Structure 1
Amino acid sequence: MNDWGEREPGLRDRKKAATRRTLLQTAARMFAERGYQETTVKDIASAAGVTERTFFRYFPSKEDLVFAEVLDLVPLLRREIPRRPAGEPPLTAVLNGLVEAAGALDEGLAILFVGTPPRALPTGARRTHVLTDFEDGIADALVVRLAEQHPDEPDDRRARRAAVLARVSVAVIRSALLAHVSEDAAGPERRSVDDFGTLLREAFDAVREAV
């Protein structure tokens, strides 16, 4: 047990977590180097030193690997957004919380946002479900934050405000993704996490200036 009364993971759990992390790290690197479409499951498994069969024990498909890392971000967003300084406006808190949450992952922003059109243009029920989970995670964090800042606000109004701000935030992130993907056509040298970070901040700035 740790200090919070949670069971410490055993050796088997740690090995499984390490293999999963290796697959995610390898995929992040290969997506950045080759692009999402050009990287196969076989490529990822081989570079990670495992078989394709092992890959599929962790992820049903390459797409699910991408979604898994997006969903890994959700509990981190729930933690980081409420921690932002009280003076930050909600959208600023989301942006900075996102950067902090991504920084807590070994891949940072790389696996989430580098040169992967399927994540920039989500379609279909599976992707819609992931986007909804992402929005819900941001909304949950904003509810906590707004409750601390405006304790007298009715719960239902606070929840509606948080939901709207979460949807706006996801739309802003997708806009930055679209801009990043369109700039990939200029050449692989444009595929930079720093480039995406700049576009992300510009997109949030545009919304803040408009409201």
Structure 2
Amino acid sequence: MADQHSTLRARRRAQTQQLIQGHAVRLFAERGYDATTVNDVAEAAGVSPMTVYRHFPTKEDLVLADQHGRLVAERVVAAPAADLPLVHRIGGALIGSAAALTGDDRGRAFLLTRLRLMISTPALRAKHLDNQYALQQAIIDALGEEAADPETAFHARAAASACLAALHTALVRWAEDDGRSDLPGLIAKALAAVFGESPLSPGDVAGR
């Protein structure tokens, strides 16, 4: 019974976060990031400002917070470690999570709006670097014992950092193209530019 209550609370928390962030991103896009206050977001979402801050400690988090790190980490863990080099596993996870995030029109439009805000808003561009570090750490944590000692952790961080730099380049290109390009395909191309070959093609991860 306790587990059921915990699961229900987690689901309600996720729904509240999604509701608040959806209104925040919409208002930022319509009115401008600087011109929209947290109180405006709270009013639009039908919650108190305190509730907004409980779920999103800073205004920047209203745009930057996402499930990307969790999706990538899950896919890294699911990849067969014995069969694939680490950069292939990380690259495939990035491509696969991008395919999941852009798999429907609503998700694609939401991600595109968030990216435009990140690119056009100085405060968000600076904060985005923290998110990149957090995603890198999520990947390292997902590797568990594979990155337990300092030497393997160093190699894992280098691989993750290179893959994430390619991801960032692909995301910027996708936003500049107004989302008309295939994002997983752009990520694969960016990874191929870094490593000389694509860690995984979008077709390889489509069925995952």
Give the RMSD, CA atoms, in angstroms. Answer: 4.2
Residues 196 and 11 (structure 1 numbering): CA distance in 2 closer, same or farther, change over 3 Å? closer
Residues 101 and 119 (structure 1 numbering): CA distance in 2 closer, same or farther, change over 3 Å? farther
1:111-164: CA deviations, max 9, x gaps? 3863231599742xx5544332211112233465x57xxxxxx94432221111
Q: Which amino acid aligns with 2:189?
A: E
Give the C-alpha shift of residue 202 in structure 1: 1.6
Residues 26 and 197 (structure 1 numbering): CA distance in 2 closer, same or farther, change over 3 Å? farther
What is the TM-score of this pair, normalised by structure 2?
Answer: 0.64
Residues in 2 aligned to 1:120 and 1:199: alpha-carbon distance in whole angstroms? 26
Greater shift, 90-99 or 166-175, is seen at 90-99
Instruction: Find the partner of 2:60 among 60, 63, 67.
Output: 63
Q: Which residue of 2 aligns with 1:80?
A: 75
Q: What pairs up with 1:156-171 in 2 under 5 angstroms?
A: 156-171=150-165
Give the C-alpha shift of residue 20 in structure 1: 1.2
Residues in 2 aligned to 1:142 and 1:175: alpha-carbon distance in whole angstroms? 24
Give the C-alpha shift of residue 50 in structure 1: 3.9
Q: Which residue of 1 aligns with 2:111?
A: 111
The size of the alignment, in residue pairs, is 189
1:54-99: CA deviations, max 9, x gaps? 4334224431123322xx4333332221212453443332233234
Regions of 4+ moved over 6 Å: 104-107
Residues 132 and 96 (structure 1 numbering): CA distance in 2 closer, same or farther, change over 3 Å? same
SS in 1 for 2:196: helix
Q: What pairs up with 1:83-162 in 2 under 5 angstroms?
A: 83-86=78-81, 87-101=83-97, 103=100, 110-111=110-111, 114-115=115-116, 116-117=118-119, 118=121, 122-123=125-126, 127-142=128-143, 155-162=149-156
SS in 2 for 1:9: helix
Q: Which residue of 1 aligns with 2:189?
A: 202
Give the C-alpha shift of residue 45 in structure 1: 4.3
Residues in 1 aligned to 2:7 and 2:184: alpha-carbon distance in whole angstroms? 37
Residues 180 and 194 (structure 1 numbering): CA distance in 2 closer, same or farther, change over 3 Å? closer
Residues in 1 aligned to 2:171 and 2:94: alpha-carbon distance in whole angstroms? 14
What is the TM-score of this pair, normalised by structure 1?
Answer: 0.64
Percent of counterpart pairs with the same letter?
29
Instruction: Structure 1 unaligned segments of length 5 or more: list them.
Output: 148-153, 184-189
Greater shift, 133-142 or 110-119, is seen at 110-119
Residues in 2 aligned to 1:101 and 1:120: alpha-carbon distance in whole angstroms? 26
Residues 158 and 108 (structure 1 numbering): CA distance in 2 closer, same or farther, change over 3 Å? farther
Residues 121 and 208 (structure 1 numbering): CA distance in 2 closer, same or farther, change over 3 Å? farther
Q: Which residue of 2 aligns with 1:187?
A: none
